[in-house]
Structure 1
């Protein structure tokens, strides 16, 4: 008697699920540790618990991480206005952004 294919798949699924839950749990604990170590000393705020760290993680993903779905990183969709720009207008826009960047950061 050996393992069936279904048994292997079920075992792999359980392992991956456990690994994901463990990873997220450790990430939340690390976030809590960083908050309690840094933010309390720097800004004088109170320490937070594990569940507050989980809420902070979820809030930060929603606000800054674009949710929880799969994302194609590094690929930016062009807006309709950008598609309609002529080559000359694109160059003018690029040079304006460079000018603003150099003014602000004195490159």
Structure 2
């Protein structure tokens, strides 16, 4: 890999990193705004600060997960490992897909 490719990759990483950070900060600001707009009026709770909204966001990520990293739990991909299908299984699967979707592919 030459130096220009490494430089472009490093620049791309920095841009994505800062975009993710800015996205999280904006998401927390949205959570803060919506909480203070809706929750005090509906449930009678008090308004929260930006940093309390940030803590609430982190707590919800810990409790409910999702959005970062590899999928876990029921959303995990469940594909068979390589070599699980025999040649007959593959042909039967191809025939079934052709039968189901041939009118949509034309």
Q: Which of the five TM-score ranges fits, normalised by the shorter chain?
A: 0.5 to 0.7
Unaligned runs of 5+ in 2: 79-106
1:18 and 2:35 are equivalent in the alignment: no
Q: Using the alignment, how far apart are the partners of 2:25 and 2:36 within structure 1? A: 16
Q: Using the alignment, how far apart are the partners of 1:22 and 1:66 within structure 2? A: 19
Alignment of 1:31-46 (within 5 A): 31-46=31-46
1:62 and 2:62 are equivalent in the alignment: yes
Q: Using the alignment, how far apart are the partners of 1:52 and 1:68 within structure 2? A: 21
Q: Using the alignment, how far apart are the partners of 1:33 and 1:75 within structure 2? A: 33
Q: 1:23 to 1:66 in 2, by over 3 A?
A: closer
Alignment of 1:1-107 (within 5 A): 4-65=4-65, 68-72=68-72, 74-75=75-76
* DSSP 3-state at the match of 2:34: helix
- Structure 1 stretches of at least 4 aligned residues deviating more than 4 Å after TM superposition: none
C-alpha RMSD of the superposition: 2.5
